[in-house]
Amino acid sequence: MTHATNVWNKFCQRFKVVEQSVPLFLTDVDGVVAHRMLGRTSRPLLMRSPEMEALILAETAKLVEDWESGNHRYDGLIYCIGWRQDEQFIPLYIGKTETFGKGDGNLSANIKNLKTDKSKFARWGDNYAYHVGDLSACVLPDHAVGKQTIKYQAWADQLFENVPSLKPKLRRPVYFWANAWDKSMTSVWEELGPTSLAFLEYLLIGVAERMSPDLLNREGVGRGGGR
């Protein structure tokens, strides 16, 4: 086992990533992901699993409560999708959603009113420029060609067998993990001690690219050698 894999696995064990990860999508027994039609546009959207939505709501509620109290303990949400293999979590994509928006200390629109508004949904929203919306454009038919980006075509090819299709089948189950990040928490690099969310994301990507050849992150990944 490589050093990077050891470092990754220790982080996953500390934060119970395998135990607390949930299915990313709503699927049938064959791994075909369900879809729904979005409002007036009638464009098809991949459906998040109820467990995934519940996890997002639970963790972002901590961020909202912290922001409302003015304590500012939490920087935001760290999340990861991946495969489970031999009791390990193999990362496919790592990202974050910050508590603060672009204004002066305002609550980010990405985590606001998530119980009633799924358009942004902590970066996993139904709108284009968000994970589910953009991935749906590459996986399901009837989306404008201009919405089919290179980034999410790579996601589609990695996660699904045949796309585009109204019955897109996963190559293997995909899991989602998220955690509200308290800035007093210790990151994957334990010797550094407490770590900000922004730095945590880059550290996790840096470790993951060394042990996961299927990592879909592009930002924060070295360009000079193989992953």
Using one digit for the tens of pLDDT, what is the confidence trace for 81-119? Answer: 999 999 999 999 999 999 999 877 899 999 999 999 999
pTM for this model (two decimals): 0.94
Q: How many CB atoms lie within 10 A of CB 141?
A: 11
Q: Is residue 64 part of a domain?
A: yes
At 223 the pLDDT is 40
Q: Is residue 220 part of a domain?
A: no
Q: Is residue 70 part of a domain?
A: yes
Predicted confidence (pLDDT) at residue 226 exceeds the cutoff of 60: no
Q: Is residue 63 part of a domain?
A: yes
Q: Is residue 30 part of a domain?
A: yes
* Domain count across the chain: 1
At 220 the pLDDT is 54
List of residues 6+ apart from 149 with CB closer than 8 A: 134, 137, 138
Domain containing residue 20: 3-211
Whether the Cβ atoms of residue 45 and residue 132 lie closer than 8 Å to each other:
yes
Q: Is residue 221 part of a domain?
A: no
- Mean pLDDT (whole number) for 66-86: 96
* Token code pair at residue 194: 């407490």
HEC per residue, 62-114: HHHHHHHHCCCCEEEEEEEEEEEECCEEEEEEEEEEECECCCCCCECHHHCCC
